[in-house]
Structures are given as C-alpha cells and as structure tokens.
Amino acid sequence: MNYTIAEINLKNLQYNYNSIRKKTKTKVMAVVKADAYGHGMVKCTEALLKLKNKPEYFGVALLSEAIELRKSTNIKSPIVCFAPFHKELFKEYIKYNVILSVTSEDQANELLKLKTKKKIIVHFNINTGMNRLGIRFSNAVKVIEKFANDKKIVIDGIYTHFATSDEKSKDFANLQLKRFASLIEELRDKNINYGLAHAANSGAILDMENSYFDMVRPGISLYGYTPSQETTESIKLKPVMSLYSKLSAITKVNKGETVGYGRLYKASKEIRCGTIPAGYADGLSRGLSDKMKVIINNKVFPQIGRISMDRISINLASTKIKKGSKVILIGSSKNHKIDAWEWSKILNTIPYEITCLISKRVARKYVGNS
C-alpha cells in the first residue's frame, strides 16, 4: 500500500474558478490539459461542470485528452484541442465533437481541400510573437478570409498566446496584444465573423484586463497558483493539491554515521531518522535532496540524504514522534505551510512542473466536491 496521497480539494478549485470569473466578467475556457496539471482531468472537469456558471469551454493539449473527457464524463461543453490539426485524425475530431486548432497556413489549406458533409468547427491560433505555433499575425486576415464563405467551416474562435504575461514588464505582451487587437479590428472591418476572441492566460488574467476580449483561458490559476512571482496577486487563489504521507519507519543514526545513497548526509550527533514512502518515482525530484522540509505534528523537519526512487529520510532529531504519524509534504498545518513555490525555488522551476510531476502511482483523493 502506498501511504503517499495527493489530496485534491475540489472546493478550492471551484473557488478559484469563481474568483477568476468574477474578476474577468467574460466567458471562460477552463484549461484541463496535462491531466489538469496533475490534479486529475476528469474529476476536476466534473467539479467545474457542477457550478451554476460553469465554464463555457474546456481546453486540452491533445486530441487523446479530449476523447478521454468525452468518454469519461457527461460533458456536453465545447472542447478546444490546442495541438496542430492533422487531417489523418479528422474523423476522430468529428466523432467526438472536438474543436480543432488551425495553427499554420498548411493546415488551413488542407482543411479547405477536405470533402465532408460534416461541419468543421475551428479556432484559429494566431502567432503574435510566441513563435511556437500559429498563423503569423501579418498573414492571418488573408488566411481567415478564405474560410469566410466556406459552408463546411464554422469559425468559432480566434486566439493567441502571450509569451511574457507572467513577467513584471508587460512591454512584449502589450505588443502582442496590440497585434491581436489590430487583427480583430481588421476582421470586423471586413465583416468576417471570427467567433470568440481569447488571449488571456493566467498571467494576463491577473495583470492585463485589456486582454480579456470575449473569453479567458485560466490554467495554473485554476489550481491555486500564480504563473510566476512577478505577477500581482489581484485574485486570491487557494492551492488545490496537498501531498501527504506517513512515517513508515524510524531508525537511530549514531554520530558520524551517514544516511542514504552516496552518503550525502552525515550526522553531527545521534538522531532519530524517519523514512517516508515517497521518492522521485512519485514526483519528488532528486534536486530537492537535503534541501526540502516536511511538517509533522505542526513542526517543521528537514529532509536528509539523497532522495531515492521510493523513499526519503527525515531528521527527527530527538523528538518522540511515532511511526505512522502523518507527514505533510505540500500543504499546511496550524502554524506552518509548504506550497509548490517552496519546491520551485529550490529547483529553479515553477509550480506547473511540481504538480504535473506528481506521478500516477500517487493516489488522488478528492475532497470538498459540492
């Protein structure tokens, strides 16, 4: 039995969503890609669908994610797949009613050549400066114009993605915004119906109110974190994931003895060493070795030695903590808190990576589902 559990607080998820909706006053596309950033795509989607003002759209990265949502939930909402469209998968898009993203001129031309009696619903991805995917903004009107009178195509939306909305300086994000807004204005002047315009990711939702357009796309903010520590905290967010385990064994380590692989930790005095059944196979990076902390009985203790695949060791000093005690890896007690940002600072990364890397062998326990 694995005593390490990721507790997913669905009430906090709903709170974050409602807070975002209250601030933006727009339609919302809830981004649930990457298994809802490690939180469980199906359960998180179901919790959001229970809300009175539920998301109008859901966003995924892969067609397989969209298919899983259709098969595993009662979702009737539109699902947008951000991945580049491939004509070989066209029947799957139609079968599962998935909105495809047109991310290049080549894809646009392929779509125009398709012979089908089914309506093809599309969102156009516009490259305003990310230079990853998307039709270049300077060519976009010309490309979209070709679709305006094609009866098999329904242009349901147009979107772009900010490269720096999570940075303190918004200069480049504002340049992208200017390009996108100019494109929309040009489409309007030509009486081309572009559907819903959406650009604001989590950083822009927090700091760029002029980027909201018709719809916003919250990702990491849904799960309780700002996308960086350079954004404001204009929305109060509650972390959705907590990570718990138990002390599975306690060993006496004498002065001068070492703990773990590579003998990374050497005891300066006799200690009680606790072990916890969680390691890098569960999502605790080896880079946290000898640097992370845990909470037990409302006290903070240091992790010692190298993090192994299945276990970590804790310096319990001379305390009388017992085997089986609850261990908080990410979460809070009465007086202490450890969140994904603490691990992120050690690893020079962001909370996205921390939550996404909590592996499938860590059971998800869902609480607070209203």
Give the tens place of pLDDT for each residue, 252-278: 999 999 999 999 999 999 999 999 999
Beta bridge partners of 102: 124
Catalytic residue of the set 17, 33, 57, 170: 33
Catalytic residue of the set 252, 261, 323, 360: 261
Average pLDDT, the chain: 95
Is the pLDDT assigned to residue 23 strictly greater than 70?
A: yes
pLDDT band at 113 (very low <50, low <70, confident <90, very high): confident
**In 228-364, where does DSSP find H-type helix?**
340-347, 351-356
| pLDDT tens profile 307-324 | 999 999 999 998 999 999
37 to 179, 241, 358: CA distances (angstroms): 30, 10, 9
Percent of the chain topping pLDDT 90: 89
> pTM of the entire structure?
0.95
Is the pLDDT assigned to residue 369 strictly greater than 80?
A: no
User: What pLDDT is recorded for position 370?
Assistant: 58
Report helix, strand or coil for 223: helix
Catalytic residue at 33?
yes
Over residues 121-135, mean pLDDT: 95
Spatial CB neighbours of 45, under 8 Å, sequence gap ≥ 6: 30, 32, 36, 58, 69, 73, 75
User: What pLDDT is recorded for position 197?
Assistant: 98
Q: Do 106 and 126 meet the contact criterion of CB atoms below 8 Å apart?
A: no
Burial status of residue 70 (CB atoms within 10 A of its CB: 0-12, 13-18, 19 or more): middle
Catalytic residue at 261?
yes
Domains of the chain in sequence order: 10-223 (3.20.20.10), 241-338 (2.40.37.10)
Is the pLDDT assigned to residue 1 strictly greater than 70?
A: no
Q: Report which of 4, 12, 198, 228 is spatially closest to residue 101, judged by C-alpha positions.
A: 198
Is the pLDDT assigned to residue 67 strictly greater than 70?
A: yes
Query: 225-255 b/e with 16+ CB inside 10 Å = b?
Result: bbbbeebeeebebebbbbbbbbbbebeebee
Tokens matching residue 27: 């339609």
